[in-house]
Amino acid sequence: MSCEEMKLNSALIEKEILLLVRREQHPFLTGLFASFQTQHHACLAMDCATGGDLTKVMRRPEFNFGAAVFYTSCITLGLEFLHEQNVVHRDLKLENVLVDESGYTKITDSGLCKKKGMGVGVLTTSGVGTPHYTAPEIFKGEPYGKAVDWWSLGVMFYYMVLGKVSVIPPANRINSTETLLWE
């Protein structure tokens, strides 16, 4: 599959998931507001979340353990919904969780998601994600499923509570500021 085909496939998967979220009106996931295509780009307009991502929220003086538990609970409910729909997010990280004007989280950036019927069965083996949040089985190239999202959520909670990452990814993989995508 060419790079352009992979980008198009990713956009189509993201659009399908965003439409599902919009239809179900899930409060902890971003839904699709509108979409259109230009000659060179597919454009998706999603729900607005004006509070910024969790990395920004964590820098506020009022952020504390209770806030970390609250946000983790919201993310858990969003993940449960995705998993009930047989969707694995695969790139859950602080930067991909937004806070809306009411103070609730919304999981976003479903471009790396896999859904049963969209190229994944119960398990998949493609390596994706952001290194500090990536589960060991992905680094090892082993088949994986929904559990990788729970690993990422655990890393996020650890970071929210202690202010540092819990694991250091293998140095031979990729720069930690990049998102991994290898097949």
The residues carrying an active-site annotation are 91
Q: How far apart are CA 7 and CA 84, in angstroms?
A: 25
Token code pair at residue 106: 């919304």
What is the spatial distance between Cα 117 and Cα 70, in angstroms, rounded to a whole number? Answer: 33
The residue type found at 8 is L
Q: d(Cα 163, Cα 142) in Å, to the nearest integer? A: 29
Long-range contacts, stretch 8-13, CB < 8 angstroms, 24+ apart? 8/42, 10/111, 10/112, 11/42, 11/44, 11/111, 12/42, 13/110, 13/111, 13/113, 13/114, 13/115, 13/118
* Neighbouring C-beta atoms of residue 114, cutoff 10 Å: 22
Q: Which residues, 6+ apart, have CB-to-CB distance to 28 below 8 Å?
A: 74, 75, 77, 78, 81, 104, 105, 106, 107
